[in-house]
Amino acid sequence: MFAALALAILTRSVIHHPPTYDELLHILAARGVAASGRPAIADGIYDRAELYTRAVAFAGRFASDELVGAREPAWLAALLLTALVSAWTVRKAGLLAGFVAGGLLAVNPWTIDLAVFARFYTLQALAIFTAFACLYEAAGIATRRGAAAAYVAVAAVALAFALHFQITTIIAVGALGAGIAAGVAVERADSLSRAIRRNRVPVMIACIGALAGAILVLFRFDMLQTFRETSPWSAAAANRLTYYNNALAKDMPLFWPLVPFAALGACVVRPRMGWTLVVAAATAFSIHSLAAAKATRYAYYALPFLCILLGCGLSVGFSFLNESLASRWPRIGRAAPVLVLAAFGLSFAASQEGYRAARLLLAADPYSKVLSYGDETTWSGARPMLAPLAARADAIVTSNAMKALYYLGRYDYELNASIVPETDTHAEFGTDERTGRQAISTASSLAKVLAAHARTLIVAENEKLGIGYGVPSNTVAIAETACDRAEVPAAARITVWSCTRGSRDER
């Protein structure tokens, strides 16, 4: 419970951050659920991870702040995950290991990010860790068949739940399978070796059949193509094989280099547990590193494995140092554990992880420094100027459809090159099925929209302007040539154009 309490305290100051595009998908769809029972946004339906949307709608009945209410399901899932990781590790490796594992997970920037993010990643991680714990118990040498079957059934339900939220659960299934198999192989090495020697041909046939089946599934369902697909905004990281290594080194500068030593200690002292965690974590991060789509949230479910390894490894190190001090300086006696714990505590306090946690505890840093998405633009300050312009406009064109709906209540075209490939036609003027509205990106498309409407309002976030996967430079030039800029507060970080058909033809 300490880990969950720590996370609750650490996130209290950042849960009120401005909404992001992805969060607004669920928030606006939740409004649709509340109004009609369907996850409707404008004229479309957003049914991805619908269970999360319905959880947001349910939480909204009791929340005084819509944004905070939308984040509560993810926040509660993060608290449960840290508590479960800590409790499971205590049961398997002792109090110190569980304390460290839960604490490291709670203070990690990935957890902080996702705990206050109205999206489904913490629920996916909770479901996957639940499946992991069940499968680990089911594979134990002393587990009875009936109990093992029950554990497997719970794990299957948990994984189905996780798959509902995110397709990357398929990778997680492979990682869990590899990890559990490695642990079983270590625990039953002698009996497995004898069985393989007695049944070499059937084992070989089974391995070849499994490999052929996996290849068939990959090609039959175009999974390799999906594996190498990515959105335009993340294309730059598609072939960056060191993406997750760099992210972990940046966010865990003290602990990430210790993982190999922690893994060694865990594998020596608790072979089955150590090898299960090592193989599961290594498999997950390796496959995600090869995948084209990369973001820390995609691999977040594997972070608990690293935290447990570190907890086990540091527990082993604590025991070794404690015994060494006591044997070398007998006078220290009972003070040895206190001295070792003090050394560990001071090391953490002096580390970047400790410093970051302390500043977060004191609410000393702005959202932009604490959260990876904390520098999100907010249109709140510009709404008084935008509202009358929107009321007079025949069409609203925006680079961020979700914010236009949230702050203005309407939009007609999304001007964003990243959205066009996600429409029904994957081309200009294709319909975004989430909202039922069209998406454009090119200069000629914008010119057609301006020609088709007497009054057009264009609202574009500055960070999207002149960007190939946002609003390309030649498209911006059309707005500059055909329209007049409207004054809005600089803090909103948006550019607004008011366009009247034919008013600037002389240009």
DSSP of 253-308, one letter per residue?
TTTGGGHHHHHHHHHHHSHHHHHHHHHHHHHHHHHHHHSS---GGGGGGGHHHHHH
DSSP helix/strand/coil, 495: strand
Q: Tell me, yes or no, whether 54 and 193 share the same domain.
A: yes
User: Which segment of 45-49, 94-98, 321-325, 414-418 scores lowest on mean pLDDT?
Assistant: 321-325
The tokens 């599934």 sit on which residue?
A: 217
- pLDDT category, 121, cuts 50, 70, 90? very high
505 is a domain residue? no
5 Cβ contact list (under 8 Å, min separation 6): none
Each residue's pLDDT tens digit, 379-422: 999 999 999 999 999 999 999 999 999 999 999 999 999 999 99
Higher-pLDDT residue of 165, 224: 165
Rounded distance between C-alpha atoms, residue 291 and residue 227, angstroms = 5
478 Cβ contact list (under 8 Å, min separation 6): 443, 446, 447, 450
Q: Tell me, yes or no, whether 34 and 165 share the same domain.
A: yes
Q: Tell me, yes or no, whether 258 and 337 share the same domain.
A: yes
Q: Tell me, yes or no, whether 294 and 405 share the same domain.
A: no
What residues does 497 pair with on adjacent strands?
458, 485
Domain final residue pick, 338, 367, 396: 367
Helix (H) or strand (E) holding 459: strand 455-461
Rounded distance between C-alpha atoms, residue 24 and residue 405, angstroms = 9
Q: Tell me, yes or no, whether 330 and 352 share the same domain.
A: yes
124 is a domain residue? yes
Torsion, CA 88, CA 94, CA 99, CA 104, rounded to 10: -70
Q: Tell me, yes or no, whether 362 and 486 share the same domain.
A: no
Rounded distance between C-alpha atoms, residue 416 and residue 437, angstroms = 13
Q: Which pLDDT does position 199 carry in this prediction?
A: 76
372 is a domain residue? no
- Say if residues 41 and 21 touch (Cβ distance below 8 Å): no
pLDDT over 70 for what percent of the chain? 95
Single pTM value for the model: 0.93
- pLDDT category, 221, cuts 50, 70, 90? low
What is the phi/psi pair of residue 44, to 5°? -125, -175
Domain final residue pick, 367, 396, 415: 367
Q: Tell me, yes or no, whether 326 and 390 share the same domain.
A: no
Domain final residue pick, 367, 397, 428: 367
Helix (H) or strand (E) holding 485: strand 484-486
Q: Tell me, yes or no, whether 306 and 359 share the same domain.
A: yes
Q: Tell me, yes or no, whether 452 and 317 share the same domain.
A: no
**Structural domain of residue 11, as residue ranges?**
2-367
Rounded distance between C-alpha atoms, residue 310 and residue 118, angstroms = 29
Q: Tell me, yes or no, whether 396 and 311 share the same domain.
A: no
Tokens of 251: 């966010």
265 is a domain residue? yes
- Taken in order 381, 382, 386, 388, the sign of the CA dihedral is positive
Rounded distance between C-alpha atoms, residue 468 and residue 474, angstroms = 10
The tokens 């490999």 sit on which residue?
A: 211
373 is a domain residue? no
14 is a domain residue? yes
Q: Tell me, yes or no, whether 144 and 204 share the same domain.
A: yes
82 is a domain residue? yes
Each residue's pLDDT tens digit, 366-387: 999 999 999 999 999 999 999 9
Give the count of domains, the chain.
Answer: 2
Q: CA of 390: how far to CAs of 345, 351, 386, in Å? A: 56, 50, 6
Q: Which pLDDT does position 211 carry in this prediction?
A: 72
Rounded distance between C-alpha atoms, residue 289 and residue 242, angstroms = 7
Q: Is 222 left (phi over 0), alpha (psi -120 to 50) or beta?
A: left
507 is a domain residue? no
Q: Tell me, yes or no, whether 70 and 215 share the same domain.
A: yes
